[in-house]
Amino acid sequence: MSGNLHFMSFLLILVLSLMIMSASANTKPPENDWGFTAFSSEIKPEIVKTVMKSVADWQIDNPSKRPTDCWTHGTLYIGMAAWSHISDDQKYVDWLRGMGERNRWKLGEDPYLADDHCVGQMYLDLYERFKETDPGAAKEMIKATKRRLDWILDRPRDVSLKMQKRTPNGGWGLSHDRWCWADALFMAPPVWAQMGEITGDKKYLDFLDKEWWATTDYLYDPEEHLYYRDSRYFDKREKNGAKVFWGRGNGWVYGGLTRVLTYLPKDHPTRDRYISLFREMSQKLKEIQQPDGTWRSSLLDPVNYTSPETSGTGFFCYGLAWGINEGLLDRDTYYPVVEKAWAGLVKCVHPNGMPGYVQKVAGSPGKAKADSTEIYGVGAFLLAGGEVYELSQK
């Protein structure tokens, strides 16, 4: 009898074990179960500084092999500059100055290409830091950038904004002599805006204004309140039938718009138009933010692009937090959006400080993986952190 009882107990345990295993196999993991929990995403000053420092230090300890005067580094420098204004450690300012000296304070080689102007934003930032304490060095920091902008003003281009086919030597056509792709609105316009602020010469702002609105009239979709990456995407559609709006491409625009507004004089005749555009995009971004707080590589197709993308998200978080800080966005409406975005960004930071889920260099939507990172993603994260830190103090 006892043998039968043991056998029946064994069968009961076996059946229960199989039922538990079956239930576990058929249970889906929690929605948005991704990322890491190495850092807190609480919006408190010292907590924000902790994760920013970890990200900045990881990047300095793991330098990129990309050219130090290209747009990728330019974006990193801008974010690192934001962090250096918060940190109490002089090493970050010294690092930035060392990179500028390594570049001999020069821009990239292509005279018109917006990408090659991006590093100028860091040079202008350092000029502002040192113009009182080391005026001779500060003047040298922006000399080449000013010379390039003046050269362009003497030789303005008036070519089509339509994206041209590749030329026989592998480059792009003359369209790249103007801001004909979304990324360009981050790379060059802030340089023109800050140069206008520094010199007080309206010629820089006049050029900025003319070219910004020419590009916007061409690439901005007034119904969706988003930018096409370039003219090749006007008629393209995603698998779900939605228009193709690249996440980081719109991040470039939104980040560039934020930086232009930072330096544009309060009494500039078209400032209100920039603010209206900023608010339109902000409202759209609020509507399409995903439950995990991030935005997708293809903004209107989260079904086919399921992973977070942190370079675009970083720029969106940066602009939204800045808008609250500057009183251009309603705090009650947008603080929850920023809170979710920052939490999503922090969750993507590896325990060693490396930001993950950064889409690689591209010009269209693509997948982002947990272990993919790039220096422009670090720059976007630090820009976002700078504004979130300011938000945490108010």
Give tens-digit pLDDT for 181-226. Answer: 999 999 999 999 999 999 999 999 999 999 999 999 999 999 999 9
**At 18, is the pLDDT very low, low, confident or very high (cuts 50, 70, 90)?**
very low
32-162+171-392 belongs to CATH 1.50.10.10: yes
Which residues lie across from 237 on neighbouring strands?
Answer: 243
Helix (H) / strand (E) containing 221: strand 220-221
What pLDDT band is residue 394 in, cutting at 50, 70 and 90?
Answer: confident
The count of other CB atoms within 10 Å of the CB of residue 382 is 29
Structure tokens at 107: 């821009």
Q: What pLDDT band is residue 8 in, cutting at 50, 70 and 90?
A: very low
Q: How far apart are CA 125 and CA 369, in angstroms?
A: 33
Catalytic residue selected from 69, 115, 116, 183:
183
Mean pLDDT of 282-293: 98
Reply yes or no on whether 183 is catalytic: yes
CA distance 320 to 261: 13
Sequence spans of domains, the chain: 32-162+171-392
Q: How confident is the model at residue 34 (pLDDT cuts 50, 70, 90)?
A: confident
pTM: 0.91
Half-sphere exposure (CA, 13 Å, Cβ side) for 249?
Answer: 24
